[in-house]
Amino acid sequence: MAIALASTALFFAVIVVVVVNSAGWPEVKQAFFNGEIFDESFPEIRSAFLINVKIFCIAEVVILFTALGLAVLRSLPGPVFFPIRLLAIVYADFFRGIPTILLIYILGFGIPALQLEGVPTDEMFWGTVALVLVYTAYVSEVYRAGIESVHPSQNAAARSLGLSHGQSLRYVVIPQAVRRVIPPLLNDFIGLQKDTALVALLGVIEAFRQSQIDVASTFNYTPYLATALMFLIITVPMTRFTDWLIARDRKRRQAAGVAA
Amino acid sequence: MRKPALFLVAAVALGLSAAGLGQAGSSAPALTGACAKANLKLVKGGQLSLATDNLSFPPWFGGKERKGSGFAPSDPYSGQGYESAVAYEVAKRLGFARGEVMWIAVPFGKSFAPGKKAFDWYISQVSYKPVRAKAADFSKSYYFVNQAVVGLKGKPITKVKTVAGLGPFQLGVAIGTTSYDYIVDHIKSKPKVYDTNADAVAALKNGRIDGLVVDFPSTGYITGVQVPNSTVVGRLPTKGTRERFGMIFQKGNPLVSCVNKVLDRMWADGTLKRLEARWLAGSAPILK
């Protein structure tokens, strides 16, 4: 313990000394760690961050269901459902393959330009739709991995008890699958939270765009730091909370004598 | 016959000498001392390395795009367009021939990054602000600018006559522009902010914004080429200090003072006014 502490302290001390004594440090400090500019930009960035929060809250809830639906479609058995499986595969390949930026541009600039009656033109809406489309593809693969990790005997046992394929999925396979994929699921959601910044391309002033505005206005990069902080404030506690949920769940199941 | 002929000869001679004087006034006297060509500290010896953003577009840069030059849709090497013309004139007065001027493409966001700059100066419609001058040095003004609003023909925004009248309309700007500050500070509305002028123009086209705010000289390219059914609603009046474009230099670069001397002369002898009339002609009503 003492050795670990000492080596950690030494390690960081060396880094700090090297950085602070470098020739360019005063300039870098002024450009990236300017307290005055931080104080000035932080309130604006904080309120702009609410837009990011709104986008990812809505998107995450939608994705949880659409992605699960896609994964279930892809795991439908039998030759009859081949076209559906094929479509699910094509969807995942396509939306994981294309750059998110491109999709945001196409939906956000393209669809309003069509001037269709009754179709929303709001850029927040289309930005969120683009993120949902892309992340549904990612997350469905995570779900699929979870579903496939449940031993086939579980399904076989459920079917032999008279459960239909759907019931077996609902009551036996998916509950186990979801438990196993919570960590990678969280991974994708953190990715999604950061990608909400891409909606700025459509003109929305969210946290990252607000910081870009401040950076361009002051020729100082400190506002980016303020934005990074906002994202950390959300993601770090969320990760810890999920870790805690998983640990609690495992304890309960082990206490009940159920192995998963 | 003789007398008039003589008179004519005399007149021509006088005219020539006047023209000659004019010529001398614009190219000489060469700068001396620290600003003599041989004493300039340059990024690359023997040449001026100038930078601007890509896209380079009229009226700031003219000429046809050259494949492989790294610039589009215009060519900074052309000497055409206001900023290209100004840059070459300054270069000439510092003693550089056309062939000794090199252009590199530098995105705006990188122009003020800390560390060694790859250019002697950066010229790309950048407005001077005191807080910006903490990160980089600015030359004196080479252009005093007004912002202007562009809207689609026939839309309600084109009837606006006052700055306050713009309040209810959704405005848009490209990021990094002082147009944003103007809207927030003086029109008191919240604009949409796009990555580039091109994106902002797309938003104007598809109706996501009612009005696009850009520097007035840039409106000509938008209304003339990019969005033919758009029109200039009006120029925005100066509030506070006049907004001016400056070239960006490495902090502490002594070249700034030499360029400033040249710019002083170019204001004094009317060169900048002449270039402005040539490349930035055009007019629109100023909003009240």
Task: For residues A59 and A163, give the distance between their C-alpha atoms in angstroms, rounded to a whole number.
Answer: 33
* Inter-chain residue contact B203 with A212, CB threshold 8 Å: no
pLDDT of residue A76: 87
- Cβ of residue A51 closer than 8 Å to a chain B Cβ: no
Q: Please write the tens of the pLDDT for every residue from A40-62.
A: 999 999 999 999 999 999 999 99
Task: For residues A31 and A36, give the distance between their C-alpha atoms in angstroms, rounded to a whole number.
Answer: 11
Task: For residues B113 and A167, give the distance between their C-alpha atoms in angstroms, rounded to a whole number.
Answer: 60
Strand order in the sheet with B192-194: B192-194, B171-174, B211-215, B147-152, B230-235
Burial class (CB within 10 angstroms; exposed 0-12, middle 13-18, buried 19+) of B246: buried
| End-to-end Cα, chain B, rounded Å | 62
Task: For residues A188 and A202, give the distance between their C-alpha atoms in angstroms, rounded to a whole number.
Answer: 23
pLDDT of residue A228: 94
- Cβ of residue A123 closer than 8 Å to a chain B Cβ: yes
B74 neighbors B62 (Cβ within 8 angstroms): yes
pLDDT of residue B32: 78
* Inter-chain residue contact A203 with B209, CB threshold 8 Å: yes
Residue A254 is which amino acid?
A: Q
Domains present along chain B, CATH in parentheses = 33-143+243-279 (3.40.190.10), 147-235 (3.40.190.10)
Burial class (CB within 10 angstroms; exposed 0-12, middle 13-18, buried 19+) of B94: buried
To test the contact with chain B by mutation, choose from A125, A217, A221, A222 the residue with the greatest count of B C-beta atoms within 10 A, namely A217
Q: Please write the tens of the pLDDT for every residue from A63-116.
A: 999 999 999 999 888 899 999 999 999 999 999 999 999 999 999 998 888 888
DSSP A193-259: HHHGGGGGGGT---HHHHHHHHHHHHT--HHHHHHHHHHHHHHHHHHHHHHHHHHHHHHHHHHTT--
Domains present along chain A, CATH in parentheses = 51-206 (1.10.3720.10)
The residues with which B49 forms a beta bridge, in sequence order, are B102
B91 neighbors B262 (Cβ within 8 angstroms): no
**A184 has a pLDDT exceeding 60:** yes
pLDDT of residue B8: 45
Task: For residues B246 and B225, give the distance between their C-alpha atoms in angstroms, rounded to a whole number.
Answer: 27
DSSP 3-state assignment of A60?
helix
Task: For residues B83 and B106, give the distance between their C-alpha atoms in angstroms, rounded to a whole number.
Answer: 15
- Cβ of residue A215 closer than 8 Å to a chain B Cβ: yes
Burial class (CB within 10 angstroms; exposed 0-12, middle 13-18, buried 19+) of A17: exposed
Q: What dihedral do alpha carbons B193, B241, B137, A33 form, nearest 10°? A: -50
Copy the structure tokens of residue A27: 């300039």
Copy the structure tokens of residue B235: 């120029």
Percent of chain A at pLDDT exceeding 70? 98
* Inter-chain residue contact A216 with B176, CB threshold 8 Å: yes
pTM (whole model) above 0.95: no
* Inter-chain residue contact B203 with A203, CB threshold 8 Å: yes
pLDDT of residue B29: 61
**A188 has a pLDDT exceeding 70:** yes
pLDDT of residue A115: 83
* Inter-chain residue contact A205 with B131, CB threshold 8 Å: no
**A259 has a pLDDT exceeding 60:** no
Copy the structure tokens of residue A17: 């000394």
Task: For residues A74 and A200, give the distance between their C-alpha atoms in angstroms, rounded to a whole number.
Answer: 33
* Inter-chain residue contact A218 with B190, CB threshold 8 Å: no
DSSP A112-124: HHH--TT----HH
Copy the structure tokens of residue B3: 């007398």
Q: Which residues of B touch A27 (CB under 8 A)?
A: 114-115, 251
Copy the structure tokens of residue B287: 């909003």
Task: For residues A86 and A75, give the distance between their C-alpha atoms in angstroms, rounded to a whole number.
Answer: 11
Q: Which residues of A touch B189 (CB under 8 A)?
A: none
DSSP 3-state assignment of A76?
coil
**A257 has a pLDDT exceeding 70:** no
Task: For residues B127 and B116, give the distance between their C-alpha atoms in angstroms, rounded to a whole number.
Answer: 21
- Cβ of residue A201 closer than 8 Å to a chain B Cβ: yes
Q: pLDDT per position in chain B (288 positions), as tens?
A: 444 444 444 444 444 444 444 344 444 567 878 888 888 989 998 899 999 998 888 899 998 888 877 888 899 999 999 999 999 999 999 999 999 999 999 999 899 998 889 999 999 999 999 999 999 999 999 999 999 999 999 999 999 999 999 999 999 999 988 899 999 999 999 999 998 888 999 999 988 999 999 999 999 889 988 999 999 999 999 988 899 999 999 999 999 999 999 999 999 999 999 999 999 977 788 888
- Across the range A158-167, mean pLDDT stands at 92
